[in-house]
Amino acid sequence: MAIFLTGSTGYLGSYLAAGLFTGHREPLNLLVRAKTQQEARERLWTSLQLHFGFPEFHEFLSTRTRIFLGDLTAERFGLPDDEYRALVDSTDSVIHCAASLNRKSEKQCLNVNLRGTLEVIQLARRAQNRSGLRRYSHVSTVAVAGKRRNEVVTEDAAIDWARSDYDPYARTKKFGEHMLHQLLADVPHTIFRPAIVLGDSRRPETSQFDMVQAFDALVRLPVLPLRPRDKIDIVPANYVSKAIVAIHQKTEPAHRIYHLSSGTGSQTYEELTDALAGAGGWRRPAYWPWMGGTFSSTVNWLSNRKGSVAHGASLLKVFWPYLDWNTVFDNSRVVAELGEAPAKFSTYAFPLLKFSRVNKFRYPAKPWSEIGMDTPEKSAVAGGARA
Ligand SMILES: NC(=O)c1ccc[n+]([C@@H]2O[C@H](COP(=O)([O-])OP(=O)(O)OC[C@H]3O[C@@H](n4cnc5c(N)ncnc54)[C@H](OP(=O)(O)O)[C@@H]3O)[C@@H](O)[C@H]2O)c1
């Protein structure tokens, strides 16, 4: 029986697929948006080459993976009846990682994070009724805690329906958790809430750049409109994925909800800019927190213009509430479960920024056409041998 994983062409989902493949034995049912199996394989190669070379990727595809060509927002993922039935019959646990992170589009967030999550829950219900579901793991976000200021938020105190949210992303992710509790109460389920996921503490490479680019725009400023001793809760992707994979595979995790965060060990802006200045030989910025209001109106104005400045400004605009809230998320549950805390951002921020700048905030993915057809295995994959 297989683990059904959504979002494997995305950043965190690629870590989950790689972690399940290298550390565990179960086959994976992957939902991939593509028209053909070949297109799906190419999309998976783009996301998974961050984790392994072509030989392991080929083994992953050919020995442990079944690809379902579907979309979360279509009824039964838009799968033909026999494919959907095969998915239900072969799934005995679910990790739902896919989402729309488009904080500016209410429509996208509603369609993917609500309608799509409901489709995944319905699939889980059918699998539970058919032969039982071992676990349903749902990747949520700390943003479900809504508007906060100067707080340390625990898992059980995060959801407060009377509180406003910063954006449709946060609102729809909050309701996604609610649907899960209501509709799969009889299925063992776990909710994971990552904080800001930035980079990998083991290496400089990343394939997700939005938050890196917002951070880069900030650290280039000689004057920061922030309070120097405010903390920012950043966690590396390798820690987040290690936690999700380990806890999903446990028979009885201690808790139902986990913050995947740096918690009270989060660093201050001053600690981060000092570390970056030290590593890069840059000047330390000045902190003028009273400029926050002016800064946010300037960012608003710039984000409506054209070009790369506008792009940086529009990223800062959507992330600004999460930079300004001085709120961290208690991580004692996950630290106890894994026996380790996440690496501090200052220990890997500089190589991450350097890699991102050198590559102009794009992952230098090797295209499928560069795999080469010099071995029978490669030809078989490129020619469409079924994974
Ligand atoms: N990154 C962070 O800082 C962060 C922080 C907290 C929580 N999270 C949570 O972590 C999860 C993964 O985020 P991420 O950063 O990895 O995002 P990402 O890189 O944007 O990946 C999103 C994934 O969802 C898939 N998806 C979106 N719409 C879909 C649809 N209609 N049908 C099927 N698949 C669809 C995407 O597929 P395509 O490749 O086809 O678009 C992609 O595989 C999300 O649940 C997010 O809320 C992320």
User: In this predicted model, what pLDDT tens digit does every residue of 337-349 receive, in sequence order?
Assistant: 999 999 999 999 9
Indicate the burial class of 383 (C-beta count within 10 angstroms; 0-12, 13-18, 19 or more): exposed
Q: What are the pLDDT digits (tens) for 17-42?
A: 999 999 999 999 999 999 999 999 99
For residue 313, what pLDDT is reported?
75
- How many CB atoms are located within 10 Å of the residue 179 CB? 15
Give the residue whose CA is nearest to atom 7 of ligand 1. Answer: 141
Give the position, in ligand 1's atom list, of the atom nearest the Cα of 73: 31
- The dihedral through the CA atoms of 100, 101, 102, 105 has a sign that is positive
DSSP state of 9: T
- Is 12 touching ligand 1 by the criterion CB < 6 Å? yes
Strands (E), the chain: 2-6, 28-32, 65-69, 91-96, 135-139, 152-153, 189-194, 196-197, 223-224, 231-232, 234-235, 257-260, 267-268, 286-287, 328-329
CA Rg, the chain, in Å?
Answer: 21
pLDDT band at 378 (very low <50, low <70, confident <90, very high): low
Q: How far is the CA of 10 from the centre of ligand 1 (A)?
A: 5
- Is 218 touching ligand 1 by the criterion CB < 6 Å? no
Look at residues 295, 300, 293, 301 and name the one whose alpha carbon lies nearest to residue 317: 300
pLDDT band at 385 (very low <50, low <70, confident <90, very high): very low
Give the residue whose CA is nearest to atom 21 of ligand 1. Answer: 10
pLDDT band at 379 (very low <50, low <70, confident <90, very high): low
204's tokens? 């400089």
pLDDT band at 297 (very low <50, low <70, confident <90, very high): confident
Give the residue whose CA is nearest to atom 13 of ligand 1. Answer: 12
- Is 33 touching ligand 1 by the criterion CB < 6 Å? yes
Q: What are the pLDDT digits (tens) for 256-293?
A: 999 999 999 999 999 999 999 999 888 889 998 887 77
Give the position, in ligand 1's atom list, of the atom nearest the Cα of 12: 16
Name residue 124's amino acid.
Answer: A
More confident site: 127 or 226: 127
**Mean pLDDT within 291-301:** 76
Q: How far is the CA of 113 from the centre of ligand 1 (A)?
A: 10
Is residue 356 within 8 A of residue 212, CB to CB? The reply is: yes
Give the position, in ligand 1's atom list, of the atom nearest the Cα of 43: 39
Indicate the burial class of 337 (C-beta count within 10 angstroms; 0-12, 13-18, 19 or more): middle
Q: How far is the CA of 142 from the centre of ligand 1 (A)?
A: 15
Q: How far is the CA of 7 from the centre of ligand 1 (A)?
A: 6
Look at residues 175, 151, 148 and name the one whose alpha carbon lies nearest to residue 161: 175
- Is 100 touching ligand 1 by the criterion CB < 6 Å? yes
